[in-house]
Structure 1
Amino acid sequence: MILILRICLATASFSCVYCLTCLHCTDIESPRHCKHVMECPSGEVCHMHMTTTKYGEVLYDLGCTETSTCYNRSHGNQLCDDCCSTDLCNAAGCGHTGFPSGRGPICYSCSAQTTEGSCHTIDFCATNEMCMINEEREFGDRVYTSRCAVNAHCENQNTETAAIIGRSVSQHSRSVTETMCHQCCHRDLCNAHCVPITKADYCASTPCVNGRCDNSMTGYTCVCDQLYTGQNCSEVDYCASTPCVHGRCVNGITGYTCVCDPLYNGQICSDVDYCSTTPCVHGKCVNGKTGYTCVCDQLYTGQNCSEVDYCASTPCLHGRCINGSTGYKCVCELSYTGKNCSEVEYCASNPCDHGRCVKGMTGYRCVCDPLYMGKCSERLKKDCRDLRSITNVSGVYKIQPEGSMQTIDVYCDMTADGGGWTV
């Protein structure tokens, strides 16, 4: 196809600063699928020419043209010319849709180019890719490779190659290929040239006080000596000896603190924490070497302070209190009785030898067995004369006549003629 406008081919015969890069294809059916580009000479713009063949095929010629001869025109569906002035802008025009919006970058894609900037082939990268260019020295030549690269791979390559950039083959016995430059970027056509990266010496100020400094592309890392820690190895690492037996060591300014694992306590987390299960329901748990002890709150008792202490108010005045599940019981001291051991037990000494002791508010009385009298320790007298040995008061007395098993009540006169008269 003969172009109505002149399409300028990119050659090495001109040098251009801030020139356009345009798609460059002939007889292509879809402009945005063109994978060749050219750099326009100064004063030229991107151009698209559309024509329809006698067979009804719509074809496009893409390239550069002088600004002075560029004009947009359309003659129905048969012929169209369109000009634009931004990089790769001739992917669209003459009613044709350009590149989609949700795409990755458009990158140069060439292998083994020995002249930098001489690549005229492009590729359409995925959204998770970047433009990459790599410069190597091989057999004394500089060899350039450009393409799309996955983001993660590109970042890893930047880190790995940064350490060997600038080395000389004559200084290091390595392979005949040496990486001189490796770069990745996100913009369209950003991988036309590779600019060597100068690696800064972040270790020049010797920032690592007690350790070794490792330089990197973006900063430094300190590898601390034993017993030191911190970004610049300036802090004593009290945790270096791993003192916390069952826990995590937290380094401090003047020492360390152990954050113990469950079931352990103590300064170095070496003691079993028997109190970790909070066994004392109503009290404070005191941890020991082999177990725990509960110090109960007021009104509570038991190994785990789970029982109500009914004896807490010391209700047994003269006795010992025994706690129960629903109340208390008093075990009274000798001579005391009652629920709270508050009553004197006058009968406690069993004063009535041959009879029953009846307790009163202030003392006791004896109810004697038959044939006994007084404190139930004396047998009944046989007549009033015998009574003179125990009383000289006249009155009615119970006597047991000699030879009789019966008792009778008689009146004894204890005053007339020496007393002892039965009336």
Structure 2
Amino acid sequence: MADLFDTPHPAKDSGPRPLADRLRPKSLAEVIGQEKILSREGPLGAMLAAGSLSSLVLWGPPGVGKTTIARLLAAETDLHFVQISAIFTGVPELRKVFEAARLRRQNGQGTLLFVDEIHRFNKAQQDGFLPHMEDGTILLVGATTENPSFELNAALLSRAQVIVLERLSLADLERLAQRAEKELGRALPLKGEAREAMLEMADGDGRALLNLIEQVAAWKVEGSLSRDQLAQRLMRRAAKYDKSGDEHYNLISALHKSIRGSDPDAALYWFARMLEGGEDPRFLARRLTRMAVEDIGLADPQAEAVCLDGWQTYERLGSPEGELALAQAVVYLALAPKSNAVYTAYKAARAAARETGSLMPPKHILNAPTRMMKEHGYGAGYAYDHDAEDGFSGQNYFPESMKRPVWYLPPERGFERELKKRAEYFAKLRAKRQGG
């Protein structure tokens, strides 16, 4: 997907230019919303000040200026700008790009190669960039909306600095709207609440905002439109909550507690409310997986798998069909038996580890690879469980000076009913073997 202000300037006689193209920043100082990385103290500002631009991966949501910044970096460093998209570029095209860059370098001209959607290249294609980056044929600037840690090769990441671009704030979007109005030569016919709604609809995406502004500016209306009139004309409901504000946390809390309370209908309602408000389904997928491990755990070990499968299905199908897989996970979690026994035991174990972190394991379970360690009693008296009756030796595995605790207390629910029987069986057997 192309990014904000990324369409090449057309010829003057090629017809009307889109607003996004007309507002394309001409310098890095004009880029809105990315001051943290472009200031003199920021990573890109510092590189430019030092005159040592390195290969980069620009990671951020759509419409925040990834392509614009890449184009302006090329201009600032006097590099020839080449743009390709991983969606439409194959190996033959890449070879031509690299060969042209090599010839350009022989003639004293460097190349900044901007690769949009770089995460869509497979491992072999990503590896193909490495020799050209290392010998200076290209300076690579990749753009991605996906987490580079998961989507890009470690070898490529080791040769490029990841720069995180932020979603545009409402204040940033307002500045962009004012810039658009100045370009249009008139104010938008919107009341204050409608203007706020339009900014919320853009959801941090500058390109989306400019598209909305172009639609609104084309309307012939008398007076100013209200929030409801704007939503009706755009056939889009203004977002009811700010995804980074209190309402966001209120709704996710409501979803979590509805699932914990085993109410599938209420859980589906809050899940739907968040989707209708514009929530990222990936955020919901993460939170559902967290609920599976915190509130269900081993009472139903399948719950975590259902969440992960739903998450993967969403990634493969996309919207809107993929949300159904997440809705299935919501219902499954709500109706699953609940247990926080492992969560509670885990927290207790972490607390004990902080308090007793210097205690050594008992010597009988330490390996003794050297003669000196054997002489000091390492491994002495260790009972190999597979040789013991019932495959259970009953030995102590805690530090010798530490009183044996009991942290995991499975309830009589779901699969943990079976685990409770097993835990009690081994506890009795342990007491018998150690007593003997």
TM-score (norm 1): 0.18
More helix per residue: 2
TM-score (norm 2): 0.18
The structure having more radius of gyration, on CA atoms, is 1
More strand per residue: 1
Pick 1 or 2: higher relative contact order, CA cutoff 8 A, min separation 6.
Answer: 2
